[in-house]
Chain A
Amino acid sequence: MRVLVIEDDREAAHFLQKALKESGHAAVVTHDGEEGLEAAREGKFDVLIVDRMLPKLDGLSVVRLLRDEGDRTPVLILSALGEVDDKVKGLRAGGDDYLTKPYAFSELLARIEALSRRSDPQQEQTRYVVGDLVLDRLSHRVTRAGEPITLQPREFRLLEYLMRHAGQVVTRTMLLEHVWDYHFDPQTNVIDVHISRLRAKIDKNFEESLLHTIRGAGYMIRAGKS
């Protein structure tokens, strides 16, 4: 995908560009708000990564201006300000996601990949299928190879989120934010235990594992080798 990075710290921007390229994405880098806004208006991008504090025009204004012009390109706001209020302001300005510095690149990558799919209309489907695992959102039923699997409500939502992002890395923080609506640090890796419980229900007794742990990043649900 094509990513526009608006970040005034040249080293950080360069690092992002390089890391994105290594992950198979094309990145264009601009260093101030005005330049960034121009680039966003001209180029066709799948995701914008916008730093909040920028010279000439701040990040939130860039996002607000783009939204006013009807540009719906997904935006990830990067910021050193990480309090709940700051997040709320960022999302209110039209940002789709908010990531606090310092961040892990794997977290950023997982988030922009999730964002780029978000504009996909097929996400609102009522059935998710990964290999022989099927989740029906309307009847709240999950089957694997035709056999029903009983899940707790929270496990159902966890699986639903993972399956909606099938083939993408989903980080622990993303799960906490979207499945539990918690925007804080739970101190310990509480998510891991929930994942292993879910894994026990959907992967145990089956030859092929669908729920994978991506080291240093998070989890991914996918069928076969891709």
Chain B
Amino acid sequence: MLARANPLLPHFTRTTAFRLMAAYVAVFVTVAAVIAGVILWQTNQLLIRQIFATLRTEAESVQDAVRQRGPAAAPDIIAERSRLSEGGLYFLADPQGHKLAGNLNRWPPELRDQSGGLFRYAATTGEQSRERVAIGIPVALERGQRLLVARDVEEQRQFIGRVRSLFLAGFGLLVLLGLGGGLAASRLILRRIAKITTTARSIMRGDLSRRIATSGTGDELDELSRNLNAMLDRIEQLMAGLKEVSDNIAHDLKTPLNRLRNRAEAALREARSAEDYQEGLERTIDEADEIIKTFNALLLIARLEAGAVDESKEIFDLTALVRDLVELYEPHAEENRRKLAFEAEQGEILVRANRQLIGQAVANLLDNAIKYGGPAPDSPNGGSASDIEVRLSRTEGGVEIVVADHGPGIPALDRERALKRFVRLEASRTRPGTGLGLSLVAAVARLHEGQVKLEDNKPGLRVVLSWPIPAMLERPETKVAVSQTRIAQ
């Protein structure tokens, strides 16, 4: 028996399937018993009423006959009826209670004080004497004579009894079948669950690659298994991510921390004058600031990956935000001999998003483009090729921000990796900055249910940041007031 043999599983009587079936059977049988009982009782009552009616008719006919032929003829009448009638029972007694005529031996003791009802009598056929049941009513005749008119109902009683045992047998069968079915069903389910449990145990032991086998029938257990598998995929992904994160944090923070330590040591070792110490300390602080920046970026990405910053979403004009950012970076771009070209369709593009995060993402894209978007060393046309185009446009059901440069770009193989959380391409590690810019952009996009695509700008890199907007937003009046006061300050 699998259910007993497997220690991981509960006893089958404790399974949901079995309990449900048992409860169902219990309720069904109870209800059926009540219904059957009521029907039986009603049938019985009906039969008894009919017999009473027959008895009353008979009593009346006896009374008529006695009235016609006179009270003295009563014993003859009864004797005659006793002989002829089939199933009819009679007992005629004088006022003292002595038998005058009839086929019953005695006045039934059950009916002494009653008007009529059930009684038992002994029927003799040949040698045998059997107790039978009959219904009778007493009839008062003239001169104090008393007559009992009765009818044998043993047949009916037996019929009702048979029906009752039939019902009981049926219910018994029902209970057996129900519990048996429940048992079979729970076994079947237990066997399937045993598979899931075994897989779960081995996953708990550390083998995250295990998956639950599905039966292929597409039933609810398969559905559950599929969902569990999907959950396991996500967990595995997260675990891998976490490992990657800790590896990268170790690399991204330990390297500059080491540099910081080296600088401090060098200052201690080499410094001769107060100025040397000052310089050493200042460089240490600069290094610490870089570490803080990296740390903040890592923390922000981790928080975005965890989701839930919905509270801080607001409605704002994306065009204004991007235009302002381009304006902010323009002088910086010019210093690096790049030109920023901004292009957007007319009018406002209202979005509901986290303004600061979108701002940070666009800032990162601009900063990256200015930093890395320079013409490749072997580029034939160095001058105009360093233009950076920024384009903002509405797409079907969303918005799209494109930042395209004419620099060396990112090789196709590295593009996907560049977007992965916490990944820095080797090239970026040697340059200033945290090098986490694109990872952060990707995290911001994911948070807004959008995406980032890296494309070839031939030559250069074309980054497309897009996210959906559910519907056209109306500018809320209060927001206008707020932004106006901010400007007025």
Contact = CB atoms under 8 A, between A and B. Distances in A.
B328 A180 contact: yes
Interface string B314-350: 0000000000100111011011000000000000000
A36 B324 CA distance: 41
Given A102-B292, A190-B329, A194-B331, A182 B312 contact: no
A154 B299 CA distance: 31
Interface residues of B, number: 38
Interface stretch (A6-14, A65-73, A78-86): A78-86
A186 B363 CA distance: 6
B309 A187 contact: no
B231 to A, nearest CB: 28
A85 B312 contact: yes
Contacts of B334: 193
B328 A187 contact: no
A185 B296 contact: yes
A206 interface: no
A174 to B, nearest CB: 13
A180 B324 contact: yes
B356 A84 contact: yes
Given A85-B312, A180-B328, A186-B328, A193 B356 contact: no
B450 interface: no
Contacts of A183: 356
B312 A190 contact: no
B303 interface: yes
Interface in B359-413: 359-360, 363-364, 367, 370-371
Contacts of B293: 185
A196 B331 CA distance: 10
Given A84-B356, A182-B356, A183-B356, A188 B292 contact: no
B331 A84 contact: no
A154 B323 CA distance: 12
Nearest to B291: A102
A1 interface: no
Contacts of B297: 185
A82 B298 CA distance: 13
A26 interface: no
Contact of B331 (A88, A180, A181, A190): A190
Contacts of A184: 356-357, 359-360, 363
Given A82-B296, A84-B309, A216-B282, A186 B331 contact: no
Nearest to B432: A188
Nearest to B297: A185
Nearest to A86: B312
A41 interface: no
A197 interface: yes
Nearest to A164: B489
Given A187-B367, A194-B331, A84 B296 contact: no
B332 A181 contact: no
Interface in A186-206: 186-190, 193-194, 196-197
Nearest to B299: A82
B312 A88 contact: yes
Nearest to B316: A181
A193 B434 CA distance: 21
A154 B357 contact: no
Interface string A35-55: 000000000000000000000
A186 B367 contact: yes
Contacts of A193: 331-332, 334-335
Contact of B309 (A82, A85, A185, A197): A85
A188 B332 CA distance: 9
A1 to B, nearest CB: 23
A110 to B, nearest CB: 16
Nearest to B295: A102
B437 interface: yes
Contacts of B288: 102
A140 to B, nearest CB: 12
Contact of B311 (A85, A182, A188, A197): A85
B300 A187 contact: no
| Residue from A157, A180, A185, A196 having most chain B Cβ neighbours under 10 A | A185
Nearest to A192: B332
A187 B312 CA distance: 22
Contacts of A82: 296, 299
Contacts of A154: 324, 327
Interface string B12-53: 000000000000000000000000000000000000000000
Nearest to B308: A85
Contact of A84 (B324, B354, B487, B489): B354
Contact of B360 (A85, A88, A185): A185
B112 interface: no
Contact of A83 (B285, B289, B300, B364): B300
Contacts of A187: 363-364, 367, 433-434, 437
Nearest to B488: A137
A104 B329 CA distance: 24
Nearest to B360: A184
Interface in A150-199: 154, 157, 178, 180-190, 193-194, 196-197
A181 B486 contact: yes
Contacts of A85: 309, 311-312
B329 to A, nearest CB: 6
A115 B434 CA distance: 31
A196 B334 CA distance: 13
B311 to A, nearest CB: 6
23 contacts: A84-B312, A85-B309, A85-B311, A85-B312, A88-B311, A102-B288, A104-B289, A154-B324, A154-B327, A181-B486, A182-B328, A182-B363, A183-B356, A184-B356, A184-B359, A187-B364, A187-B434, A188-B332, A188-B370, A189-B332, A190-B329, A193-B331, A193-B335
Task: List the 8 shortest-distance A-B pairs measured between CB atoms, nearest first.
Answer: A193-B331, A184-B360, A187-B367, A190-B332, A84-B312, A84-B356, A85-B312, A183-B356
Interface of B: 282, 285, 288-289, 292-293, 296-297, 299-300, 303, 309, 311-312, 324, 327-329, 331-332, 334-335, 354, 356-357, 359-360, 363-364, 367, 370-371, 433-434, 437, 486-487, 489
Given A183-B356, A188-B433, A193-B335, 5 more contacts: A84-B312, A85-B309, A102-B288, A104-B289, A185-B296
Interface of A: 82-85, 88, 102, 104, 154, 157, 178, 180-190, 193-194, 196-197, 216
